[in-house]
Structure 1
């Protein structure tokens, strides 16, 4: 069933046409990605579908009763509210039921009597009738995963990344029928991204999103809508399938263009013949000539200019860190860290938000001083540092002038030179865009310009802090190709796992409390190693907890009629549902794993998930039994 459809949508900003006569539908249960170059109006289109903007022409139709939630690329939140108040403004009736239950439970815990007991029973029945236990459980899980802990914090005090995470929590908790997400992985660390990936795969929800994260897109989406040269293409498959189909289409287009060029040459020669020949020309053939001419004139040059920037030759000493330590209050960033960088080394940096990845980069370049230790930089090292905050320029300036202020020409490694305009064109700034004021650029185009401003300086030690945010997939491919040809040192911080695995040789994994692990292998291999370590620690904790629980059970004496506390009663209720849900998922996985045609990689992923679920079932069952025994 189609739950959302569009009919001939068009949108322009001034003379800039974003899209024209777009018609498509979203079917119930589809998980769809929208793919298009920066500046073609992806974010605007999502806002129109969500009812936040209006189209110039056409209409959007949503099935009756369908609840739509929208996450903007830059969310607009109510600065007069706290996080708690903002979250509570979602499903008002359901939130009221939960709040009434919490008040009744707290009153019963403070003064247990027939009146408070009756109020608590009434509130519990309301929770059961509204299925609010699941809502509360989902809310706690989502807030915890997204590291939203202080619910009384005013929204006005949040950073850009925190605002994005609060807005994401809000739309997920609301549990809509259709979820529209614009770059949902921006400002999330890798643990959060992997959780969100798993959540969206398992959720019974219809999804439409824009994302540049190719691993995320490939695993979550089963349908891709592509806008290319003003035309709409549907791909019923994941990202890899889309790439194959686009490649086939481009190959066919090139063949058609080659035929058109050959035909144009023949018809042009015919048109140029003398007046006598021209008198017998048919009108249809003349019209055909002009059609072919228009087609050839609209040819786009998809050939790639292979750029390898010239740079300062590196000496023997690159960059050496000796016993570096850094902390902010109680947060330890580095603890007696030493490392000697090698020529041409390519390092990826991973870790949760807040562990100090950006601070570490600034220590390397001297922007931030270490508390102790020494940073020794080679005399020939020229840093290029692209930072998360993006560019700071006069936005009334034209794109080409911004770049020319840094350099008018760029020298390549073979000694040849290209102009600033050619460099911009390589990174998909058309001649028309180059003479556009910066303020007219989209968010992704501004970030792309910021990258150009870093790369044009010809550094030999390149540091990129989240360079992939808001970039479209075509730009990412161009950037990857450029960086693969870069012969200097490269350090990248990114939540884009595909981007990192393609470019780096090894990872610095910031694991917290100043601990940095040097991992030689892919990101997926690092996650597998960490999962095994966590599973082992969990088994040890379970064994200790079970032993302690048995000892406590033998000595526990209950002095009240209600043996479970308020918090334990809530936990007991949740565990019943959680264990049943997990056991159901285990059964489904067992069925999937018994399929003989499954490939090795998929079976390995399912096995890892199966072992994780079995551990969770064991842990929660033990706790449920403890509470059941206490309840009597």
Structure 2
């Protein structure tokens, strides 16, 4: 029996069915990614499974004793709460007892009335003993140790990434059979995302998560579930497999819809021929036409895509920004040491670093909105800068969506053409009823779309984007990637979306240890290959000036002379090992490319998918070992 089984689940808000007789089954050990456009109802589905809201229709079955826990997008914390208290709160009433015991024992000397404190402590101990609470206290401490969380730290002092760790600890402490995650990578830096991936790969229960992070889904998911127009469709395999199957499905759906519409048009011509359509022998045909009309009316078309276009205006000068020995510190902390760079017209630069490393600070210094402690910044000629702000500070929450773009005007000029604000906002998927709503009522994804709409109203030859991908759905991300890739001007981009960085930027500024900023050619994967080994000081491994290309291993006598006999033999054998692995991977990929592969049993498909993943990891390890021996 499945851990969770949903049958014909329906729920509507207003006149739109978010779920329309949807079916879903979650088995033990699965890691399922739930994807869909913003506003389709993904978070609603998670809340239904977690029993937070009830569906209008349908049935949900849970395996006996199945424990479900959900990590919300924005967990709420008390400002004075410590990390220990926050994690213990996940245990409910017993967690409150453990929290009180922890406060009394760790802050006993601060109590005004010791006698009363001792009496309260004895009462709490009695209740914990009666409910096996000591075991739960050990679980809290073990969870803090496992996730490397500071027990005494106040929640208000933690960054967004560390708060996300605490939230995970709070749900994992309940040892759920099913873990529900809603956008778990939002506001996490690259290091935290990789840490989360490892944690979830080791999770033994079933996982259902909503995410727009394509790299995250590719590594974690064993199955993709898409919520589209109220229906749930299942795609076994990883994200790349989903993309291929989805493209085939949409093509077939379009063909079927075209045939249906052609047949309906023929029947409409027939009914208009007059009296013969009303004869008794044709009454069945008339009824069929009415049914066809009803089916066409009820068809829910696929939500349109944003239409993005950017006027780059006049070209900037050849040199866009020149920074010489700029540095910055906050109080006693060095944000970055003296750093020099020249940004040329057409450069597309990604900023890579942990949360709090100083990426936004560097951006503002380069834009001359913040002064460096030392050094100088010079701007080139004819710069038109558009700034996409991470904190959405440019948006007035009380202003309407219409006024946020129109700024008091009904028409705006886009690429030299006069366009009504309503029509322009429709390009960004804002319905007419939504256009008059205040900005404060918008979701995170809608605010991002609004900021993009506002950004693209004016010509710009320099675009600066600080975390533009948060809350955008996958289709919007791909359109934004396409627009930025074709943009002839200069791009400065801060993002933790690894796919986005790979597809858009041509070089990276990486924030490394001891306040150092290093420049690398290429995107995120190129940076991974070129960056200094974490175990080696960055001072002894300067960044390379061009992207490395991984090639087939070749025997090298000068290298072999520096190796031990065992290492020489290993290096000699690696080409054949890599060749064998590549053949095995190619065979499995060919097998999975067969349409009949997905008609088989889930267990067999999962075995093949896991086998392919294992082989890819072995190949990656073999290449890394070869590079190590060659070096």
What range describes the TM-score normalised by the shorter chain of this pair? Answer: 0.7 to 0.9
Q: How does 1:590-609 map to 2 (within 5 A)?
A: 597-598=584-585, 603=615, 605-606=617-618
8 Å CA contact retained: 2:406, 2:412: no
Stretch deviating more after TM superposition (315-324 or 12-21): 12-21
- Match of 2:341, SS? strand
Q: Which moved more, 1:521-530 or 1:81-90?
A: 521-530
Structure 2 CA distance for partners of 1:258 and 1:264, relative to 1, 3 Å: same
Q: What is the 5 A alignment of 1:275-294?
A: 275-276=275-276, 278-279=278-279, 282-293=282-293
Checking the alignment, whether the CA contact within 8 Å between 2:311 and 2:458 is kept in structure 1 is no
CA contact (8 A) 2:310 2:456 kept: no
Q: What is the DSSP-based 3-state SS (H/G/I as helix, E as strand, rest coil) of the residue aligned with 1:597? A: helix
Residues 348 and 188 of structure 1: CA distance in aligned 2, closer, same or farther (over 3 Å): same
- Please give the secondary structure, in 2, of the residue aligned with 1:376: strand
Runs of 5+ in structure 1 lacking a partner? 105-126, 541-589, 614-632
Contact 1:331 1:513 in 2 (8 A): no
Q: Report if aligned partners of 2:8, 2:22 keep a CA contact under 8 Å in 1.
A: yes
Deviations 1:56-106 (A, max 9, x none): 444544323222221111112244521121123345589969x99xx99xx
Deviations 1:416-446 (A, max 9, x none): 4544444433333344543544444332222
- Structure 2 gap segments, 5+ residues each: 107-131, 541-576, 587-611, 626-631
CA gap 1:605/1:426 in 2 versus in 1, 3 angstroms: farther
How do 1:316-327 residues align onto structure 2 when only pairs under 5 Å count?
316-327=318-329
Normalised to the residue count of structure 1, the TM-score between the two structures is 0.74
Match of 1:361 in 2: 363
Q: How does 1:454-493 map to 2 (within 5 A)?
A: 454-493=455-494
User: In the alignment, is the contact (CA less than 8 A) between 1:139 and 1:173 conserved in 2?
Assistant: no
Taking the TM superposition and a 5 Å limit, the aligned residue runs for 1:568-607 are 597-598=584-585, 603=615, 605-606=617-618
Give me the whole-angstrom Cα distance separating, in 2, the residues matched to 1:596 and 1:487: 41
Deviation at 1:329, TM superposition (A): 1.9
Q: In the TM superposition, what is the alpha-carbon distance from 1:152 to its structure 2 partner?
A: 2.4
SS where residue 513 of structure 1 aligns? helix
Residues 220-619 of structure 1: pairs in structure 2 closer than 5 A: 220-276=220-276, 278-279=278-279, 282-293=282-293, 298=299, 299=301, 305=307, 307-390=309-392, 393-395=395-397, 397-405=399-407, 411=413, 415-416=416-417, 418-530=419-531, 533-535=533-535, 597-598=584-585, 603=615, 605-606=617-618
Give the direction of change, closer, same or farther, for the CA distance of 1:310–1:266 in structure 2 (3 Å limit).
farther
- What displacement does 1:365 show? 2.3
| C-alpha contact (below 8 Å) 1:84/1:152 kept by paired residues | yes
Deviation of residue 372 (structure 1)?
Answer: 1.8
- Are 1:348 and 1:491, in contact at CA under 8 Å, matched by a contact in 2? yes
User: TM-score scaled by structure 2?
Assistant: 0.74
Q: Does 2:32 match 1:45? A: no
Indicate how the Cα distance of structure 1 residues 518 and 410 shifts in structure 2: closer, same or farther if over 3 A, else same: farther
Per-residue CA shift, 1:537-590, capped at 9, x if unaligned?
69x9xxxxxxxxxxxxxxxxxxxxxxxxxxxxxxxxxxxxxxxxxxxxxxxxx9
Question: What is the SS of the residue equivalent to 1:2?
Answer: coil
| Equivalent-residue separation in structure 1 for 2:340 and 2:356 (angstroms) | 21
Q: CA deviation at 1:158?
A: 4.7
Q: Which residue of 2 aligns with 1:205?
A: 205
CA distance in 1, matches of 2:175, 2:622: 26
Q: Is the 8 A contact 2:308 2:480 kept in 1?
A: no
CA deviations over 1:171-213 (Å, ceiling 9, x no partner): 3454422111111111211011112112212321210000110
CA distance in 1, matches of 2:411, 2:614: 49
Further displaced range: 83-92 or 129-138: 129-138
Q: For the Cα contact (< 8 Å) 1:468–1:496, is it kept in 2?
A: yes
Q: Which of 268-277 and 338-347 deviates more?
A: 268-277
How far apart, CA to CA, are the structure 2 residues paired with 1:374 and 1:395?
Answer: 36
TM-fit CA distance, 1:363? 1.5
Query: Matched residue of 1:18: which SS?
Result: strand
Output the CA distance in 1 between the equivalents of 2:395 and 2:379: 29
CA–CA distance in structure 2, aligned partners of residues 489 and 334 of structure 1 = 23
Which 10-residue stretch deviates more, 269-278 or 296-305?
Answer: 296-305
Tell me whether 217-226 or 468-477 shows the greater mean CA deviation: 468-477
1:188 paired with 2:188, answer yes
282-291 or 462-471, which deviates more? 282-291
Q: Deviations over 1:218-252 (max 9, x none)?
A: 11001111111122211111111211121111101
Q: 1:458 to 1:281 in 2, by over 3 A?
A: farther
Q: 1:598 to 1:270 in 2, by over 3 A?
A: closer
User: Is the 2:520–2:530 Cα contact (8 Å) retained in structure 1?
Assistant: no
1:391–1:446 CA contact under 8 A, matched in 2 = no
Aligned residue in 2 for 1:139: 144
Aligned residue pairs, count: 528
Whether the aligned pair in 2 keeps the contact of 1:406 and 1:456 (CA below 8 Å) is no
Deviates more, 1:76-85 or 1:30-39: 76-85
Out of 39-48 and 59-68, give the one that drifted further.
Answer: 59-68
Structure 2 partner of 1:554: none
